């Protein structure tokens, strides 16, 4: 992907910031665009107008991005978190999960994918989660988060099918970073089952996965170790 552009959306988050640092330090890209609520222009992934403005900024630069990574998402906020049982379901919380975890990446794809070259290897990746796998769900719970990530994984598959008609070498995938030491996972540090990674380690692992992918991998969700996560 040398000499092209790269885009990191969610660049002030724990994983997003580490991805930005790693991608910028490789020297593989002429320009690395970073977007967050604090960037110029700022991006609010809940506002399609904001997403459009960010995409226009990249388009007007004349630099076609060969790599786009969406590192945004919602798991908990202000005392609200994953439901442990059916009685905790709340419509507004479910909708917020869908908006941030599924709708926002889809709208980003709507406006950013057309900026990517129509020939040669390109990669559009968005953070997903293993708990979005239906076949791998053995514990239940976390209803809104699981369902929103499952919806995202379906969108990834849909986008990959549509976009490979435009560029057969395009790669569109989801990435499961594992449990990373960020604010997102902070309330769940008590669970000893999961290996934890620093944001820098997680970024290295995710970029290594992306480097090893081929167009035939498009539409899949990959874990940090390169293994495919079953739908």
Integer-rounded Cα radius of gyration of the chain: 17
Measured between alpha carbons, how far is 100 from 93 in angstroms, rounded to an integer? 11
Please state the φ and ψ torsions of residue 87, each to the nearest 5 degrees. -65, -15
The mean of the pLDDT values for the chain is 93
How many whole angstroms from its chain centre is CA 162? 18
Residue 195's pLDDT band, with cuts at 50, 70 and 90, is confident
The pLDDT tens digits for 93-137 are 999 999 999 999 999 999 999 999 999 999 999 999 999 999 988
Say yes or no: domain 4-223 is CATH 3.40.50.720.
yes
DSSP character string of 137-192: --S---HHHHHHHHHHHHHHHHHHHHHHTT-TTEEEEEEE--EESSTTTGGGTT-T
Tell me the domain boundaries of the chain.
4-223
Measured between alpha carbons, how far is 54 from 65 in angstroms, rounded to an integer? 13
The reply to whether the predicted model has a pTM over 0.75 is yes
Say if residues 66 and 120 touch (Cβ distance below 8 Å). yes
Measure CA of the first residue to CA of the last residue in the chain; give whole Å. 29
């Amino acid at each position: 992907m040398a000499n092209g552009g790269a885009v990191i959306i969610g660049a002030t988050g724990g994983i997003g910031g580490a991805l930005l640092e790693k991608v910028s330090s490789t020297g593989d890209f002429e320009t690395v665009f970073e977007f967050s609520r604090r960037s110029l222009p700022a991006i609010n992934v809940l506002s399609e107008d904001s997403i459009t403005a960010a995409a226009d900024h990249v388009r007007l630069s004349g630099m076609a991005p060969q790599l786009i990574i969406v590192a945004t998402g919602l798991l908990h906020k202000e005392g609200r978190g994953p439901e442990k049982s059916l009685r905790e379901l709340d419509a507004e919380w479910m909708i917020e999960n869908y908006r941030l975890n599924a709708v926002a990446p889809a709208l980003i794809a709507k406006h950013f994918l057309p900026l990517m070259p129509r020939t040669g290897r390109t990669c559009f990746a968005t953070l997903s989660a293993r708990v979005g796998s239906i076949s791998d769900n053995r514990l239940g719970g976390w209803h809104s988060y699981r369902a929103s990530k499952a919806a995202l994984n379906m969108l990834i598959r849909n986008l990959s099918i549509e976009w490979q008609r435009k560029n057969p070498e395009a790669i569109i995938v989801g990435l499961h970073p594992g449990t990373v030491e960020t604010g997102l996972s902070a309330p769940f540090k008590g669970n000893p089952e999961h290996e934890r990674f620093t944001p820098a380690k997680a970024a290295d692992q995710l970029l290594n996965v992306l480097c090893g992918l081929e167009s035939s991998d498009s539409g899949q969700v990959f874990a940090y170790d390169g293994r495919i996560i079953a739908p």
